Amino acid sequence: MVVASYPATAATNPNANIAIVFSTGGLGDLSFNDAANAGKIKAETDFTGINVDTAEPASQAEINSAIESFASSTEIDYDLIIGIGFTATDGINASATLHPDKNFMIVDSVVPLSNVANVIFAEHEGSFLAGAMAAMVSTTEDIGFLGGLDITLINKFLAGYAQGARYINPDINIRVAYSPDPSNPWGDLAGGQNVANSFIELGSDVIYAAAGGTGLGVMAAAKEKSTADKKIYAIGVDSNQDYIEKGYVLTSMINRVDVAVYNQIKAVVDGTWAGNGDSAPLVLDLAADGVGITDMEFTQTEANADYNSTTTRMEKVDEIKADIIAGKITVDEALADDFTYVFEKVDEDLSDLEDLPLNAFFLFALIAIPVFRKIKK
């Protein structure tokens, strides 16, 4: 097997071969993969000479094998193999170790190898803006968050969201849940709807979903549970999802995956591509315009409502954004362990019970056991 080797910085390469391996949600997830696809289409129109091959794996194992088959392909010598999303981490890691002469890129995860370019997003900064907007819109002072899985990456969204909401309203309740079906965390519409309904029943009126397709269930629930006098909103994630349920999706926190993919393809074509696995990954943050929230096309009345007498809500968000870029507000990637999400008010009926000693229960058990034995005889 003869494999031509490409150094990290090659000359201009207008006929580059690019391979993209999408995440398991597949195209049409109106989210990560679609955003990556938008970047790919933009690159294809700008650089007509390039050839982009894609794979849409359905499972984790298929992702790994798709990456490996692109890396070991003898027919086409790929100049850059792109893995979308953290699900590609293991596959990129394995293939990049096996083929040190090939170049890889991974969005949203870090692989510490010199032939890999890591691009990550400062999702917590974008989520901070979403949280601030949610806190301004919520009338019940109660907002929800639905994550796909309880992992560091998803909790980054939660951390930014919670900090943003508390920045506007320090007393706001933040309810947190994750996808109910761990075998299908990113595509469980019914589960997302169920969780959202529970949140709404508990009093939340804005729910942020960082759970891929499961989030579509949250949008459906927002539409279903909204009444004339009480509106429920969902907040979309990763790409602009405002149009899915028009008027019920407050805004979307966008990761510019398209920008990341486009920039990397451009770098390959220009010959300026370099791996960064052995140094710090490239972070696309608010300042680099890599994250942000949408302009709320279908919820303009909420965006333009007064935050206080001088500024509207959207202007307040822009103010916060400027403050974050200027470093006046720092957004942490993780919350403290003792962060209080919900300020619980114990039910009136329960507060009597709370004073009761547990001894009463043991007393009951002590009486019940002999009685039970007697019955048995």
Partner 1 sequence: MIEKLKEKKKVWLLIKAFLGIEGLVLLLFGLNVIFNDYTSFLVFHVQVWRLLLSTGTVSSMIIYALPIAITAIGAAYNENVGVINIGLEGIMLWGAWAGIYFTFITGNPWAGVFASIVFGLLNALIHAVWTITFKSEQIVTGVAINLFATGMTDVLTTLVWNPGRSPPLESDVAFKKINFYDSKIFGEFLSKIRFTNFIDKPGGKIFKYIPDPIDVLSGQTILFYLGILIIPIAHIFLFKTKWGLRMRVIGEHPQTAATAGIPVKKYQFIAVLISGGLAGLGGAILSVGIGTSFTVSIVQGRGFTALAAMIFGNWTVLGAVAATLFFGFFYALSIRMGVGFIYNFEVPNEFLQMMPYIVAIMALSGFIGKSRPPKAIGKPYDVSDE
Binding site for partner 1 (CB under 8 A): 25-29, 56, 144, 150, 175-178, 180-184, 187-191, 193-195, 197-199, 201-202, 213, 216, 220, 224, 244-245, 342, 344, 346, 349-350, 353-354, 356, 358, 360-361, 375-376
Kindly tell me which of 120 and 249 has the beta carbon lying closer to partner 1.
249
The C-alpha angle with vertex 104 and arms to 283 and 61, in degrees rounded to 5, equals 105
Kindly tell me which of 204 and 263 has the beta carbon lying closer to partner 1.
204
What minimum distance in Å lies between the beta carbon of 282 and partner 1? 29
What minimum distance in Å lies between the beta carbon of 305 and partner 1? 26
What minimum distance in Å lies between the beta carbon of 214 and partner 1? 10
What minimum distance in Å lies between the beta carbon of 167 and partner 1? 22
User: How far apart, in Å, are the Cα atoms of 267 and each of 5, 6, 204, 273?
Assistant: 18, 14, 45, 5
Cβ–Cβ under 8 Å, residues 47 and 299:
no
Kindly tell me which of 75 and 355 has the beta carbon lying closer to partner 1.
355
b (16+ CB within 10 A) / e for 314-351: bebbeebbeebeeeebebeeebeeeeeeeeeeeeeeee
User: How far apart, in Å, are the Cα atoms of 30 and each of 26, 178, 211, 293?
Assistant: 10, 20, 12, 16
What minimum distance in Å lies between the beta carbon of 176 and partner 1? 8
Kindly tell me which of 243 and 307 has the beta carbon lying closer to partner 1.
243
Kindly tell me which of 149 and 267 has the beta carbon lying closer to partner 1.
149
Q: Residue 266: in which H helix or E strand, if any?
A: helix 257-270
Q: Is the dihedral of CA 120, 125, 131, 136 positive or negative?
A: negative
Kindly tell me which of 75 and 344 has the beta carbon lying closer to partner 1.
344
What minimum distance in Å lies between the beta carbon of 28 and partner 1? 3
Minimal CA–CA distance to 321: which of 211, 157, 142, 160? 160
What minimum distance in Å lies between the beta carbon of 354 and partner 1? 5
Phi/psi-derived region of residue 85, left when phi > 0, alpha when psi is between -120 and 50, beta in every other case: left
- Token couple for 125: 């900064």
DSSP string covering 53-71, please?
EEE--SSHHHHHHHHHHHH
What minimum distance in Å lies between the beta carbon of 58 and partner 1? 8
d(CA 304, CA 131): 17
- CA 156 vs. chain centroid, Å, equals 8
Kindly tell me which of 307 and 341 has the beta carbon lying closer to partner 1.
341
Q: Residue 190: in which H helix or E strand, if any?
A: helix 189-202
Kindly tell me which of 194 and 312 has the beta carbon lying closer to partner 1.
194
